[in-house]
A and B are shown apart, each in its own frame.
Chain A
Amino acid sequence: MLEVRDDNAAAFEELVRRYQSRLIGVLEHIVHGRVQAEDLAQEVFLRVYRARKSYVPGAKFSTWLFTIANNLASNALRALSRRREVNLTAMAGNDSGAQSLEQMAAAASGLMPTRRLDKTEMAEVVRLAIESLNERQRMALLLSKFEEMSYIDIADTMGISIEAVKSLLSRARLNLRAILAPYVEHGQLPEPRELRGDHRQ
């Protein structure tokens, strides 16, 4: 990042390559769409480039990067909800999401009542479970799990206290546990109603 600060284009390209997957991976679960996640990620990198002169040596670049990402994602979600363009029912367990789960449940019940889901199905269930969380719980969870950030770094990134981070992570994990417990213990699909925003606290 110090080289980027000194206008080294090759260093900036290396930075993009190194962080793009991680950034898009987190944003994809926040804004519910690959295309939008990529657009936001590009905006994040653009802002990093424009603010390169203000980068302080010694500061954690990933914390700075995801702080920008968190702010942009929050703004994007607010703008989308105002324009009513986002499919909020996807977060609340919309028809398409619920139908996919119901279809999966029907397919499963058609075979064996306790058929275990395959890896792809399980991934989809986990993805929907994460999307049932509210934005802040989701961001804290993703930063903790996939960026392996400490509570202090998550607090800095999200602009909240460490106690708030603890609370968000605990709540997120409890909610996920409540949704996914039947699958984990009995191999059953979670009820679609559990993915309709009942856990947005």
Chain B
Amino acid sequence: MLSSFFITFREALQCGLLIVLLAGYPELRPGRRAMYAGITCGLALALALALLPALSGRMPDIGHWINARYISECIIFYLGAALLALYGPEGKHKPEPTPSGAGLFTLGFLLFFFEAHSLALYNIDLSTLDGAAKIAPAAAAGLVIGLLPIWLLEKKIASARLERFFSPGSLLVTVGAIKFITGGVPEVEDGDILIGVQQGLQHFVEGSVDHLQSLLMIGQHPFIETPFAGLADYLREQRLSTALTVAFVMAPPLLVMIRVFSRPDPEVRGLDVAAQRRLKKAFFRREMAFLSTPVIVSLMLLIVSLHAVNASVNPLSEPEPIPVMESEERQGVILISLTDRIGDFTDGKLRKYVFYSGRDKVVFLAIMKPDGSVGLALDECEICKPAEWNTSAIGYAQRGDHLVCKYCMSPIAIPTVNEPGGCNPIPVPFAIEKDNIALRLDDLMRVHKAARDMEKKGTHF
């Protein structure tokens, strides 16, 4: 019951504060009732649409709703940029138009509809456990209290003269940016719009590169060198899609900043008194500072959000080593199944194993490469040898489609595992027998011993 109240309150408060911001803007104030009507209709429709599958016993397909929410948030975000681009800085073109009642109704509808739908789904789920009689009042209370700021703060915000800080376009960009960060109900929806954008762009870039190669008849081959294969592999990596995501997110706020700072200083030649000239310039610069502050704040929030997305898309993943022993059926051989209770090697995730031989502890890693072959190597390289106390820097972790040496943070392309040299993990010979990796103990211990001998010689840096 409490979680229903708090989560509904939280989402309603987020929406309420945005509505207060919009309703307090002078050019939008006359149409604020249309906006409230939009929120109300959005709430009612969301509840109805959430109840329908519940009443018919079907599971709701949340994927469609998440995509629709992403599209609506992008529309709000880029609509602001479109207004700025269409109408230019003050004095140059017509002033930005006052939004119509229908436009404000739609804005209010979009601001809360998807969150309301997710909240309704969440509360319907909770009510199957705790009963509707407990959940419904808690959710309603959370909704009412969360939307209270609309009534409490509306007049106060109106007197804050928001036109000093926003134009309609920059206001929409700021609202859109806030929606990017706060949009959706995390308890119901698994994902973030920026992750969705980045993944979508990644798939599009990969597909486009493949398509272009096939159009130009220079499709890649496992061992025949093809023109621009290296460039194609480079473009397929995540850095291009990440860069495009950054550009997608940063473009509207940067457009606002450009619009603000591209306004020329006021003409002061006609003023005879120097103090009047300075005053006029000071007012202008203060106005620029006011106009740029909200968008700078939005920019900072988006940068933090992008960083969080990047970290979540590419976390440093390091599994715990799984102890392995000599096989009972085959003496002198360690057999590692390619499919076991912890998963299938085809998931492309790094796996680590540890073998104990007397006092020796040998940690090795295995991973399936994109071409379906397996890479197996010691969890160390020939070059890096962190101090023994620095255990967190020993070995490799996985980040996306690379292994990363935790000591020097060099990225190692997964297809190059099994290739010796550089910062690559030291390869160990092995064989694939049916669905198992067959690793001879002799080979493992020989390579391990050779690595220890090299270490003693001081070839590790």
Do A and B make up one complex? no
Residues of B within 8 A of A (CB): none
Q: Which residues of A contact B (CB under 8 A)?
A: none
